[in-house]
Structures are given as structure tokens and as C-alpha cells.
Structure 1
């Protein structure tokens, strides 16, 4: 459903396989399927190269008492759903966690990043 109230940012929710996680603050998604790099010579720009890249979702989540960072690290085929203030729903299908899930104990939070195959993350 479209949001027509000019409320476009701030509040967001994240669930992984139907389980809600406490979102600390940063939530990012990337639906892109390619990365491009300009190819320049000494005389001029010659063009660009293009390589496939994994779409991703990353979130800073609160380390609540029932949260298992080991379980997050073990994720290999998960559905991540983001609900954003602007009315968008972002869905990541068949995603796996990448990078280390390091926890900051002074703030009881850590960052988790999921990646997937091309087309795994869609905007609705």
C-alpha cells in the first residue's frame, strides 16, 4: 500500500523467516545485479567493464537475550522481509549471511549482512 503522508523514513521492521529482530538503526538493501568500472587509458576513457554482483541486505540489530549470533552466522537459505516507512516492502529470498557478525557489547548490537543470487532482493 502506498504511503501518501510524506512519511518516508525512520521507522522500519525486519523479519527473517517470520522471526522479528530488534532493529538498532542501520538498515540497508541493494537490489543491483551488476557493478561497473570505468576503463581509462592515458589518452581518454575507453569504456567500462561490468561484472555480476550479489544483491544484499544488511542490518544493525540489538543483541537481545534470546538472540543467537551463531544461528545468524549459520543462515544459508533464508527469507528476509523489510517493511519501510515509505510503504515499500523489500523481500530477500534464498539468502545467506556473509562477513563476520561482530557484537558491540557496550551498545548490545551487531551487524548482519545477507547476500543472494541475482534477483534475490526485490522492491514491492
Structure 2
């Protein structure tokens, strides 16, 4: 058995509501948290404002032939899970698809992004 303790990148496995999708690459995510904006006055820095910020999970999927763009676009209230090579698991709950997806027929890829209130990494 190969020692994977030093593996940091290279593989990832993506599923949505338990269904596995082919992940080509460009995987990215942002955990849920807060967004802060510095509040400036004419006399200096006054402090900051803070508000909740949604998390996201995104990547480029491969169109396996059975994949439907309208099904991807209709995704709402889904759970997105990605297992990364470094041992992390990224989980997004109550996610929805954003933008309208398009298929790039030259390499059968679809750029996909989900946003939602809760994205965590374990």
C-alpha cells in the first residue's frame, strides 16, 4: 500500500445528493463566514461593518452523456460533497446552482458553481 501522508493535491471526488459527477478540474471552494468592510471617515478609520457571507463550491464537470444541463440548473437545496487528496472533505448543505451552465462541446466540459449558507471543511 502506498504511503499518502505527503499527498497534498491531484485527486478529488465530487458528489451531489449522493450522485457522483466526473470532476475535470478547476475545483475551488470558500467556506461560509463573514464579510467585513472597513468604515472610513474623513478623520481616519472608524472600524468595520460585518455581515454573513455565503460559501461556494465550484469546478469543471465532464459531460458523461447522461448529464442534463437543465438538471444542473434546477439544483436547489442540494448537498455537495468533495473529498480532496489531502484528506479534507468539503461539504456544502442547502446549496443551489448559480449562473446558467453551458456545455463546451470541444472537450465535453461544464463549469459549475453552487452557493449556499453552509460550506465547511473537515
TM-score (norm. length: structure 2): 0.88
Structure 2 unaligned blocks of 5 or more: none
SS class of match (2:13): strand
Which runs of structure 2 are paired with 1:32-43 in the superposition (5 Å)? 32-43=32-43
What displacement does 1:4 show?
Answer: 6.1
Once structures 1 and 2 are overlaid, which stretch shifts more, 42-51 or 8-17?
42-51
SS class of match (1:72): helix
Asked if 1:113 corresponds to 2:91, the answer is: no
Aligned residues: 120
CA contact (8 A) 2:32 2:120 kept: no
What displacement does 1:46 show?
Answer: 2.3
What displacement does 1:45 show?
Answer: 2.4
Which runs of structure 2 are paired with 1:43-82 in the superposition (5 Å)? 43-82=43-82
Cα distance in 2 for residues equivalent to 1:102 and 1:40: 41
Pairwise CA RMSD: 1.7
Once structures 1 and 2 are overlaid, which stretch shifts more, 6-15 or 106-115?
106-115
CA contact (8 A) 2:16 2:80 kept: yes
The structure with more strand, counted as a fraction of residues? 2
Cα distance in 1 for residues equivalent to 2:102 and 2:43: 45
Structure 1 unaligned blocks of 5 or more: none
What displacement does 1:58 show?
Answer: 0.9
SS class of match (1:77): strand
Cα distance in 2 for residues equivalent to 1:10 and 1:96: 26
Residue 122 of structure 1 aligns with which residue? 120
SS class of match (1:46): strand
